[in-house]
Structure 1
């Protein structure tokens, strides 16, 4: 009878385990899609020249549509409480398109300014809802001028000459290149009453 050799227990080569783990890590890093938040797209004005005095700008108070948001997310629109934020879009449109008819509203679209002022404790949700309503009012006004919905106007591709003409006609861009029906939404510095 032949004697069997003791081979010992079978061992797994663990040297390649690190390679496999590394390859799996790379696979998941490459194939995973990371969500990116976009935020609010706002074009900020250039920084003022410190050597020049600030310009003396005077506005007729009639041309400023005031929206105040306190730390409890309550709205005060033109010194009146407003509970339903969705009513704001039509209020902004009526204010901007007044053309001097109502003495309590703006003189003309080029003079109308929508001013949003929040408190430090105001939630982002209410601020963004208010801003969206104001933006939607302007998109509707521009779209209506050229027979489009607000969504269709928003999707115009300005690199296409035909769509650029529609866009310019809606915005009434003059020979000087400036819109004569500008979207003037002013965001004032928040007050420090209710927040940190």
Structure 2
């Protein structure tokens, strides 16, 4: 009878039975620890839903700053053509009305900005117009914060200070239903 060597008796295979368990645990670990980037888009707080009919009151046209954007991406502000570069300064002047002009808002609390687009308006133009209007409010908030508290308006400010500034100059931006393609000329 031939002698068997110990080398022949030892099996050189690796037990792979627990490999599936390890791979599963690694998969769970990476799923739990990975964060998924989320697009935020335009941060706009919508009014709460209501089944009641809205109270339609006659607004003073003096307090409404209407901005129309047509299919050719041209601006019509209070029935006058305007370039995008002029929009922010013009909106700031309308909202604050420093000279008490009779054709501008009575006060920042009464100012309403109405934005209406054509369905053919480019999204880039819509965003640029929206950013200019929002920027007008941000500049007004910053100016008021500098006058009142001696610091720039930011999210790091005390909540009470931010609230007081936004109560004095509330951002009222109304977006109307877009018109059909090419309807606004």
Q: Same fold (TM over 0.5)?
A: yes
Q: CA deviation at 1:55?
A: 1.8
Q: CA deviation at 1:86?
A: 4.4
Q: CA deviation at 1:99?
A: 5.5
1:184 aligns with 2:172: yes
Larger Rg: 2
* Equivalent residue, structure 2, for 1:33: 35
Distance 1:18 1:75, change over 3 A: farther
Whether the 8 Å CA contact 2:145–2:152 is kept in 1: the answer is no
When normalised by structure 2's length, the TM-score is: 0.74
Distance in 1, matches of 2:69 and 2:9, equals 80
SS at match of 2:45: coil
Q: CA deviation at 1:135?
A: 1.9
RMSD of aligned residue pairs (Cα, Å): 3.2
Higher RCO (Cα < 8 Å, 6 or more apart):
2
Q: CA deviation at 1:118?
A: 1.8
Q: CA deviation at 1:95?
A: 0.9
Distance in 1, matches of 2:34 and 2:54, equals 49
1:142 aligns with 2:141: yes
Aligned length, in residue pairs: 177
Distance 1:29 1:45, change over 3 A: same
Whether the 8 Å CA contact 1:99–1:107 is kept in 2: the answer is no
Whether the 8 Å CA contact 2:69–2:121 is kept in 1: the answer is yes
Distance 1:71 1:24, change over 3 A: farther
* Equivalent residue, structure 2, for 1:108: 107
Whether the 8 Å CA contact 1:67–1:75 is kept in 2: the answer is yes
When normalised by structure 1's length, the TM-score is: 0.71
Task: Indicate which of 14, 18, 23 corresponds to 1:21.
Answer: 23
SS at match of 2:116: strand
Deviations 1:137-158 (A, max 9, x none): 1122122123169x93132231
Whether the 8 Å CA contact 1:93–1:138 is kept in 2: the answer is yes
Gapped regions of structure 2 (runs ≥ 5): none
Distance in 2, matches of 1:23 and 1:61, equals 65
Whether the 8 Å CA contact 1:100–1:106 is kept in 2: the answer is no
Deviations 1:131-186 (A, max 9, x none): 2222221122122123169x93132231xxxxx1x335434xxxxxxx35432211
SS at match of 2:94: helix
Q: CA deviation at 1:33?
A: 1.7
Deviations 1:10-67 (A, max 9, x none): 44433222122212212221221211223333332233443xx532311222321111
* Equivalent residue, structure 1, for 2:127: 128
* Equivalent residue, structure 2, for 1:176: none
